[in-house]
Amino acid sequence: MLDSPNLALLQAYFSPWPHLSQAQQALLAENAAQVRYRKGTNLHSRDSECLGLILLKSGALRTYLLSEDGREITLYRMGPGEACVLSASCVISAITFDVHIDAEEDTEIFLVSASVFASLAKENIHVECWSYRTATERFSDVIWAMQQMLFRRMDQRLAVFLLDERARTGQDQLRITHEQAARYIGSAREVVTRMLRYFSEEGIVALSRGGIRILDRERLRAIAGE
């Protein structure tokens, strides 16, 4: 059972809450587990059992596709307050695929088991509707990622990624490896390293062991096409 600050968070994050009956609210509150994951942990994969509904309390999750030869395509990332229904795909018949989900930072979630979530969605059309709406929002994220990946030039994708990271962290100094950057933009590390070296020679970024420092945001914006 959640304590009252955590229950308040759960109510805020799970927007159909006001539409639940008292019995349904009790079922959810009693069955929402708090789970912590260390940075780098894989929460959900194509081969794992259906995890259930995730409501993200703190940290960050990355959702991606994985090919048989180990290539990854990042679909979207989630932060505190966001919900993930793809981890409950086994109980949503309209979702016929499985994604991989990793903790990008130390992460804490509320986890509602697939069976409890399924019974709420079956009994309460507001829950069902919310789960499809949440999936549809992710659909929009994925189409955006697809357009980035398929249609933008590599330098543009990298510039957009660096600017996004700067906006997310509020820092010019980004603590990311070339490997991570490559993963986010769906490319190979060698390609990213080559492109970063070019950005560095042009005075757009400075490279160091600790990461990448943005020196010329205006030129980065121009490359990003913003």
Binders in 207-226 for a second copy, by CB under 8 A: none
Residues 68-97, interacting with a second copy (CB under 8 A): 68-69, 71, 73, 92, 94-97
Euclidean distance between CA atoms 41 and 13, whole angstroms: 23
Does 139 help bind a second copy (rule: CB under 8 A)? yes
Which tokens in the block code for residue 162?
């660096």
Residue recorded with tokens 């990448």: 212
Determine the interface stretch with a second copy among 2-10, 127-135, 176-184, 198-206 (rule: CB under 8 A).
Answer: 127-135
Closest alpha carbon to 90 in 67, 69, 121? 121
Told to check if 50 binds a second copy by CB under 8 A, we report no
Task: List the x/- string, 5-44, binding to a second copy by CB under 8 A.
Answer: ----------------------------------------
Amino acid identity at 212: I
Angle (CA) 138-142-147 rounded to 5° is: 150
Around Cβ 3, how many Cβ atoms within 10 Å?
Answer: 8
Quick one: CA torsion of 193, 147, 60, 37, rounded to 10 degrees?
-80
Does 133 participate in binding a second copy (rule CB under 8 A)? yes
Nearer to a second copy, 127 or 212 (CB): 127
Cβ distance to a second copy smaller for residue 86 or 174: 86
